[in-house]
Amino acid sequence: MLRPHMLFPGLLAVAFGAVAGEPTPEIQRKPGAPQAIGVAHTLRTIPEACARLEGRFTGDAAAPYRFTAVRSSARCQPRARLVDAAAAKPSAASGWVLNDVVRVPNAGCPSQQAVVRVWRKDAKAVPPKLDAQGRSRIYLKEGLDTARGGDLGPIPMYAAAMDIEGKDCGK
């Protein structure tokens, strides 16, 4: 005979199992303020890539939300690349780390929200070889020659992917 007190722990295990499928993001945040249709808003700034993720609800049932990466400043020198998530296919198994999950509710349709996941992949920087004095140095001429040759080594990367969660309110 199945008793109610035996059923509850099983339901909890199923509920937490669904949430446990996604890795925990490095940055923990509450959902953002509800946004109206057509109003552009900043989702997240990535200073290392000199980029700002900007989004807006469109009101179009086929594509209810759009987001783009906007350069944060013309004078900013990026220390990381922002790459296309569809091409990079970020996942924990391929060395990417879930950095942030940004949730933005639709003000006109509370049951719908845009969810932007930002992934980060660190570069494994290797310091230069030690010189005769036992120090790791980069000389200007050698550094410039290496840069001109295109052999800069790996740099950190970020990727952002967007999903819509919840149901459409159908206008």
pLDDT digits (tens, 9 = 90+) for 85-108: 999 999 988 899 999 999 999 998
The predicted model gives 35-51 an average pLDDT of 94
Query: Phi, psi at residue 105, to the nearest 5°?
Result: -75, 150
Query: What is d(CA 70, CA 60) in angstroms, rounded to the nearest whole number?
Result: 22
Give every strand in the sheet of 65-71, ordered side by side. Answer: 41-46, 51-57, 65-71
142 token code pair: 């050698």
What is the average pLDDT value for the chain, to the nearest integer?
83
| Residue of 48, 41, 25 whose CA lies nearest to 119 | 25
Model pLDDT, residue 20: 52
Given a cut of 70, is residue 136 above it in pLDDT?
A: yes
Residue 163 has pLDDT above 50, yes or no: yes
Identify which has the larger pLDDT, 67 or 168: 67
